[in-house]
């Protein structure tokens, strides 16, 4: 059983609550079908920034309570707090650089915006898969800790289960919110790509061919250019 289990669950859900609202608000925004691709890029950055703020808040909370708990407790509980504090130094770094990365971006083309957004979605899914491994590894450590009577293994395993559970919920909720934007922008790609075909036939120099051509097509004037022309217009 995790130390102060109910209190920690309350903290976890309190920090994850903004992500639930992010999912709902993103769904509403995506239904509006905004036509400017740079608007979708801005919404993507806002979601990423909010996500990094939540992750950073979780990291800061665990570093403080973990440091205090490690100094004031004994046995597996002390190791539990120690791992929480150590684990979240990494989370704090991810949150910092992740937030900073969204501030350095510049306006790019539609295809580049969509590429960056889908890549972020992929990263979240990969992270969710890694979170399953964290939880499984933590459960194995707890099992071995109880079997071998090692307090360190029990405490570390419990902390990894907690951290992996939070990260899996965080990654999946952020993915559900952000992927909606990516799919909507992808569906709007057709609005930014238009095809214009212009088929131009060779000039006709022989009267009998011109006469046959005018009967077949209804056009009496020959067309001057010699090759068919394909015009493609990309709108960004």
Q: Summarize the confidence of residues 173-197 as an average pLDDT.
A: 73
Q: Summarize the confidence of residues 46-62 as an average pLDDT.
A: 96
Query: Strands (DSSP E) along 108-206, which ranges?
Result: 193-198
What is the Cα–Cα distance from 92 to 90, expressed in whole angstroms?
5
Phi first, then psi: give them for residue 75, nearest 5 degrees. Answer: 65, -145
For 219, other C-beta atoms within 10 Å of its C-beta total 12
Indicate the pLDDT class of residue 207, thresholds 50, 70 and 90: low
In this structure, are residues 233 and 196 in contact, taking their beta carbons and an 8 Å threshold?
A: yes
Q: Among positive and negative, which fits the CA dihedral 154, 9, 169, 41?
A: negative
Given its phi and psi angles, is residue 233 left (phi above 0), alpha (psi -120 to 50 degrees) or beta? Answer: beta
In this structure, are residues 231 and 198 in contact, taking their beta carbons and an 8 Å threshold?
A: yes
Better-scored residue on pLDDT, 213 or 94: 94
Q: Among positive and negative, which fits the CA dihedral 40, 124, 4, 61?
A: negative
Indicate the pLDDT class of residue 12, thresholds 50, 70 and 90: low
What is the Cα–Cα distance from 205 to 194, expressed in whole angstroms?
35
Tens of pLDDT, residues 222-235 = 443 443 443 333 33
Better-scored residue on pLDDT, 128 or 107: 128
pLDDT of 219 higher than 70: no
Q: Roughly how many angstroms between the first and final C-alpha of the chain, as a whole number?
A: 56
pLDDT of 75 higher than 90: yes
Better-scored residue on pLDDT, 72 or 184: 72
Average pLDDT of the chain? 77
Across 31-40, 97-106, 201-210, least confident range:
201-210
pLDDT score at 194: 36
Better-scored residue on pLDDT, 189 or 82: 82
The H or E element that residue 1 is part of is: none
Contacts of 91 (CB under 8 A, 6+ apart): 55, 56, 58, 59, 62, 163, 167
* Residue 79 CB-density burial (10 A; 0-12 exposed, 13-18 middle, 19+ buried): buried
Indicate the pLDDT class of residue 155, thresholds 50, 70 and 90: very high
What is the Cα–Cα distance from 34 to 28, expressed in whole angstroms?
11
What is the Cα–Cα distance from 61 to 81, expressed in whole angstroms?
11
Across 15-19, 138-142, 208-212, least confident range:
208-212
pLDDT score at 118: 94
């Amino acid at each position: 059983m995790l130390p102060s289990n109910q209190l920690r669950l309350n903290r976890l859900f309190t920090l994850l609550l903004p992500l639930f609202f992010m999912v709902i608000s993103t769904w509403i925004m995506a239904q509006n079908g905004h036509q400017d691709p740079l608007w979708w890029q801005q919404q993507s950055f806002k979601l990423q920034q909010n996500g990094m703020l939540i992750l950073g808040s979780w990291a800061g909370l665990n570093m403080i309570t973990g440091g205090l708990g490690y100094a004031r407790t004994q046995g597996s509980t002390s190791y539990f707090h120690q791992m929480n504090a150590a684990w979240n130094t990494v989370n704090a770094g991810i949150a910092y650089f992740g937030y900073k990365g969204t501030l350095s971006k510049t306006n790019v083309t539609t295809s580049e915006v969509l590429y960056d957004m889908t890549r972020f979605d992929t990263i979240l899914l990969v992270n969710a898969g890694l979170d399953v491994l964290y939880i499984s590894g933590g459960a194995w450590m707890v099992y071995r800790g109880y079997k071998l009577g090692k307090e360190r293994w029990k405490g570390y395993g419990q902390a990894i289960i907690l951290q992996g559970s939070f990260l899996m919920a965080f990654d999946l909720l952020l993915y559900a919110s952000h992927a909606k934007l990516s799919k909507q922008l992808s569906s709007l790609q057709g609005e930014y790509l238009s095809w214009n075909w212009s088929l131009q036939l060779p000039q006709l120099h022989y009267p009998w061919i011109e006469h046959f051509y005018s009967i077949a097509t209804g056009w009496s004037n020959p067309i001057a250019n010699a090759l068919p022309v394909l015009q493609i217009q990309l709108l960004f």
